[in-house]
Amino acid sequence: MDDIIVKYIEKPSLKEPVVVEGLPGVGNVGKLAAEHFKDVTKATKFASMYSKYFPPQVFVEENGVIRLVSNDFYYLKGTKKDQKDIIIIVGDYQGLTPEGQYALSSKMLDVVEEFGVKRIYTLGGYGLGKMIDKPRVLGAATDEDLVHELKKQGVIFSKGEPGSGIVGASGLLLGLGALRGMRCACLMGETSGYFVDPKSARAVLEILSKILKMEISFAELEEKALQIDRITSQLKEIEQVIEPETKGEDLHYIG
């Protein structure tokens, strides 16, 4: 099997779309923000990415039907004059290994490059390890002009933050995107990192709505956060019982 499989539902006709990405990470800020954005804009799924870099797992939907874990691509046509077409990338997991992370981010860029993408916004959380009342949105970008542009929208660029850089897809899409000449930025909402954080996701989306010149409703954001929190807790509870499944009865003595 190919390392990564992309299955298209359709190939939409898009005009220099802007990419918005949010996958699981610190405080699930990026995932929550991007999924909420996808839901309230009623974006249309057009492709799914399956990969051996994800866990070997299917989810079972409420009707008993399974779904192989994936990252998914949605699109949204700009309706107003100065609104861009948008591609939204969300998903169940990030790659399990560093090699998988590089391969998956690179493949995402392959997919969106075909649609003429020149700008990418990745959404994530910036973990502080302590509770925070009014989360700021920190930024990083592939060039100084973009930094200046984002500063005007209220994004904070603070020397030495994040000191350790950005890990995972939200960082790699910038790093690998820059190598392809794309202009990319990461928006990181401050968060404790202890739970799924709707306040931080909202802060990120408020900036994004200014950048994209779109209204975003936050009515169902809290509910969405609770939902992601429930799934996360459930997975953790079941974890110990489930563990042997992938490993077989007696694999634990190897490597």
CB of 8 to its own copies, least distance (A): 12
Q: Crossing angle for the helix pair 198-212 and 221-242, nearest 10 degrees?
A: 130
Other CB atoms closer than 10 Å to residue 194's CB: what's the count?
13
Q: Which is nearer to its own copies, 14 or 196 (CB)?
A: 196
CB of 137 to its own copies, least distance (A): 13
Q: Which is nearer to its own copies, 7 or 213 (CB)?
A: 7
Residues 6+ apart with CB under 8 A from 228: 28, 31, 32, 35, 196
CB of 41 to its own copies, least distance (A): 23
Q: Which is nearer to its own copies, 42 or 159 (CB)?
A: 159
Handedness of CA 201, 83, 143, 178 (dihedral sign): positive
Q: Which is nearer to its own copies, 18 or 26 (CB)?
A: 26
Q: Are 184 and 177 in contact (CB under 8 A)?
A: yes
3-state class of 188 per DSSP? Answer: strand
Residues 6+ apart with CB under 8 A from 112: 17, 19, 73, 87, 89, 120
CB of 227 to its own copies, least distance (A): 12
Q: Which is nearer to its own copies, 60 or 219 (CB)?
A: 60
Q: Which is nearer to its own copies, 215 or 249 (CB)?
A: 249
Give dist(CA 227, CA 240) in Å, integer: 22
CB of 83 to its own copies, least distance (A): 26
CB of 207 to its own copies, least distance (A): 15
What's the full length of the chain, in residues?
255
Residues 6+ apart with CB under 8 A from 3: 51, 52, 53, 103
Give dist(CA 94, CA 71) in Å, integer: 8
Give dist(CA 91, CA 24) in Å, integer: 8
